[in-house]
Amino acid sequence: MTAPTDGLIVIVKRDCPTCTLIEPVLQQIAGGGEACAVYTQDDPSFPAGIDGVIDDTALETSFRHSIEIVPTLIRLRDGAEVERRIGWHRGEWQELTGLEALGADLPEQQPGCGSKSTDPGMPEKLQAKYGDMLAARLVEVSPLEDPMEVCFERGWSDGLPVIPPTDERIIRMLSGTDRDPQEVVGLIPPNLIECTVEKVAINAVMAGCKPEYMPVVLAAVETALHPDFSMHGLLCTTYFSGPVVIVNGPITTRIGMNSGLNALGQGNRANLTIGRTLQLIIRNVGGGLPGEIDRSALGNPGKLSFCFAEDESDPEWEPLSVWRGFEPDASTVTLFHGDGVQPFMDHGSRTPEELCRSFATSLNVVGHSKVVQGPNAILVLTPEHYAIFRDAGWDRRRVLEGLHAATTRPGKDLVKGAHGLAEGIDPSRADEMVPKFWEDHGLLVVRAGGDAGLFSAIISGWIAGRFHDDVRPVTMEIKT
């Protein structure tokens, strides 16, 4: 039996009660005079009584026809499918075959079973074997080699073990997005190499992501490539900084991101692997290697991964994404040029004004106590400190106004030479009141963390923040 270009094909398996029920029907169709081919997924001797049943135990035909349920009856015309029926329904099969007496002594209908091509892990295996989804260069590894060690030896790791990106794993990762695998996301610095969705997926596999993280990862990459973020400059700076990824919106709950206890630490797969993927892409696609184009004098541990979600559990608080112009139901990523976490503790302040002044003592030392409008900063506000603002009726705008006011100081204390410190601003500004941060984007406030202790945190920023119009945090919407 050969597959017709005009006629009928049927895909069945013995391990399906509906397929065995309609065995007489299959014999009727095969002997009905019209060209017909019957494919079996699991037993070449089934169905009986039909000459030349086609063995599809390799599932190639099932894959190419996207079979999800057996039995499936398909009509072909000029080699292309024009109609199909799934499961058994007497009237539908009679209509499609033109055989009015077909299955007259069988039940009117009976649902089918799952195709073997949909068994767990099988769609990825079949796509890898028969499909054309992937275009990236295949790297052959000897059976005697450990793929994980190969990744270390060839410089594809950030210093920690990575998951070898097999075809099946890449295809599974691509299931997390509807975007074309060959769509170019952008040019990755420093070498400005084209990065496709497929290459993003490869590095997401290596980092340990789940497929459902892909929309966030893609958005993070696109945000990093926005001109205002200056990813190339951040990569080659001798300063400490690297990208910090803050995620807002419904997607954070959907993929299980952490915005609570230990939000800036270890233990949450989504937080850690999303940030890690961005760093691996810069390394593996763009060529951003430490000691080469990455010239950081010390770096910081966040250059492995620095990603967390904002706590949006309090409806009175305006999320960072909304503050930056997006709709409340939008999911976004914000990228900030950040480095280490500076702890802050205050168990004594009881009013917003007191707390702002207290925060200012730590915010003012970001970069250096006499450097202003240079490094930006994020204030990570934990629940107990936030409660002081909330109970006083302070919203995000009021909090920011209070912090900016508290971090604005007399220029005479900041000029070069003041207090015996050579670092400082130009002496011509001695009579000014000088703000520590740019008012529009120099200080971001984000809610996160657990409610155990009056501890908040400051994430200081890149010294290139002094270039107000050229280097700034960037927020973009996540395309789900």
CB of 467 closer than 8 Å to CB of 421: no
Q: Could you count the other beta carbons within 10 Å of the beta carbon of residue 74?
A: 19
CB of 344 closer than 8 Å to CB of 455: yes
Q: What predicted TM-score, i.e. pTM, was given to this entire model?
A: 0.92
CB of 296 closer than 8 Å to CB of 238: yes
Cα pseudo-dihedral 13, 16, 18, 23, rounded to 10:
40
At 142 the three-state DSSP class reads coil
d(CA 275, CA 246): 10
CB of 68 closer than 8 Å to CB of 116: no
Q: What are phi and psi of 155, to 5 degrees?
A: 80, 25
For the chain, give every domain's residue range.
Answer: 7-119, 120-238+265-305, 323-480
CATH of domain 7-119: 3.40.30.10
| pLDDT values of the chain reduced to their tens digit, one per residue, 480 residues | 677 889 999 999 999 999 999 999 999 998 888 999 999 999 999 999 898 899 999 999 999 999 999 999 999 999 999 999 999 999 999 999 999 999 999 999 999 999 999 999 999 999 999 999 999 998 988 989 999 999 999 999 999 999 999 999 999 999 999 999 999 999 999 999 999 999 999 999 999 999 999 999 999 999 999 999 999 999 999 999 999 999 999 999 999 999 999 999 999 999 999 999 999 999 999 999 999 999 999 999 999 999 999 999 999 999 999 999 999 999 999 999 999 999 999 999 999 999 999 999 999 999 999 999 999 999 999 999 999 999 999 999 999 999 999 999 999 999 999 999 999 999 999 999 999 999 999 999 999 999 888 999 999 999 999 999 999 999 999 997
Report which of 145, 170, 118 is spatially closest to residue 11, judged by C-alpha positions: 118
